[in-house]
Amino acid sequence: MTDAAPRLAALAETLLGGPLPVRIRAWDGTEAGPPEGPVLVVRGRRALRRMLWKPGELGLARAWVAGDLAVEGDLFEMLDRVAGLLWQRDRPPAPAPPASPLSVLRPRLPRRVTAAADTAAAAAALLGDADARSAVRDLVTLARPWPAPAPPAEEAARRGGPRHSRGRDRQAVSHHYDVGNDFYERVLGPSMVYSCAYWTPGSTLERAQHDKLDLVCRKLALKPGDRLLDVGCGWGSMALHAARAHGARVTGITLSREQAAYARKKVADEGLADLVEIRIQDYRDVKDGPYDAISSIGMAEHVGAERYRDYARTLHALLRPGGLLLNHQIARPPEADEGAYRVDEFIDAYVFPDGELSPVGTTVGELERAGFEVRDVEALREHYALTLRAWVARLEEHWDEAVALTSAGRARVWQLYMAASALAFERGRLGVNQVLAVRSAARGDSGLPLRLRTWGAQSA
């Protein structure tokens, strides 16, 4: 057979109701689609099997992680062209599926194919009845979908315990962060900061991360001797900067053993052990308040919607009256039905198990219900897009080392996750916000200046 790509192109155009946005090269060497731009390489029938057995984003992601799909050319351009396929919100609502869209195919399919064919019902429901029968039949014939392919090894293992319990949170953090500090150095650079940088024209990644850390310190008005709790301290970059540049006494907490080991070594190497303590500790177990300030940078996404109020109350109780909280958190747009939050399957399986995002309005509301007075909200959406593009560039520059330090599958997970996330921030599908809040004194005195956004002089 030497017509796989044209058949795939015809199927895709039927699904899309329009021309194919990218060129396809199939395993038999055939090509179809527009001649310019990136090429989507379908290396074998297993890629199609993955999409039949798990239609939608997770099937595509598994094919990418396993190396069954590849891109020749610019990955960002490829994702931009196919974004409408991946992000259902950008497309008009699909018509209601027929009662049994594949029933007419059952007599013609081998019994071992029937279960796999049933999983294509979601895609078939997007089409009219006649087109659905033809398209699904052709896809099943091309895929030969037996047996079901095993997920690539980098998928998160089955998690035990209640969602966002202490034990399960440790499992989730370990899956994401305990994959090797050397790998993260290749991606993040010397700063080892794994959150949105703060860019100015001409900034390098390293300078932009320095400026973000200093922005947080200035918003918190840190001065020598202040006690700072850094929740989710990562590899210690915020704790080190706050101690080194502002003289703060910092307690950094993380659930990752590898992060803690790295941070403790950095503290010792810089001679800051008298100012910085790194603990392996859950935020719910911190009992040594009050603190003058708390920074939570890129950690609250792991808390979970059901536990967010408890998170906010815990941090409120750990601050002295007049103490400040800087909560730096990714946000999503509000949904029509906020009770039906949909977890991104790829992110949940491969990147952040049990991660949850909320609209910034929800976050502000929960902080206020916990007793905080919210004094400032700064949106940094475009800054995160720039940060992610810089991380992708570093990963691709150090690709061979990154693969050797982890695996090809892990490197592909990070490449896809960061590139797709960059586009999501650029298109406004995700945001990130710094929320500054105060635990006001009993008589309502916040202790803050009348003109808040001066933030003091920037340190060198």
* Core vs surface per residue 74-111: b (16+ CB within 10 A) or e: ebbebbbbbbebbeeeeeeeeeeeeeebbeebeeebee
Distances (CA, A) of 77 to 16, 72, 408, 421: 18, 11, 22, 13
Q: In whole angstroms, what separates CA 343 from the centre of its chain?
A: 11
pLDDT score for 104 = 32
- How far apart are the C-alpha atoms of 116 and 254, rounded to whole Å? 42
- How far apart are the C-alpha atoms of 153 and 409, rounded to whole Å? 8
Instruction: Respond yes or no on whether the N-terminal peptide bond of residue 19 is cis (omega within 30° of 0).
Output: no
Instruction: For each of the domains in the chain, give its residue range(s) and CATH number, in order of start.
Output: 4-143 (no CATH), 166-454 (3.40.50.150)
Residues in the chain: 460
Q: What parts of the chain have a pLDDT lower than 70? A: 1, 15, 84-133, 145, 156-159, 176, 336-343, 442, 456-460
pLDDT score for 157 = 64
pLDDT score for 25 = 96
pLDDT score for 1 = 58
pTM of the model: 0.87
**DSSP conformation letters of 209-265:** HHHHHHHHHHHTT--TT-EEEEET-TTSHHHHHHHHHH--EEEEEES-HHHHHHHHH
Give per-residue pLDDT as tens, 414-460: 999 999 999 999 999 999 999 999 998 767 778 787 777 777 545 54
Q: Which residues contact 261 (CB under 8 A, 6 or more apart)?
A: 181
Give per-residue pLDDT as tens, 74-113: 999 999 988 766 554 444 443 333 332 233 333 333 444 4
139, containing H or E segment: helix 129-143
Q: Tokens 């330090």 map to which residue? A: 405
pLDDT score for 114 = 43
Q: Which residues contact 287 (CB under 8 A, 6 or more apart)?
A: none
HSE-up (13 A, CA, CB side) for residue 194: 18
Beta-ladder partners of 252: 230, 278
- How far apart are the C-alpha atoms of 38 and 22, rounded to whole Å? 7
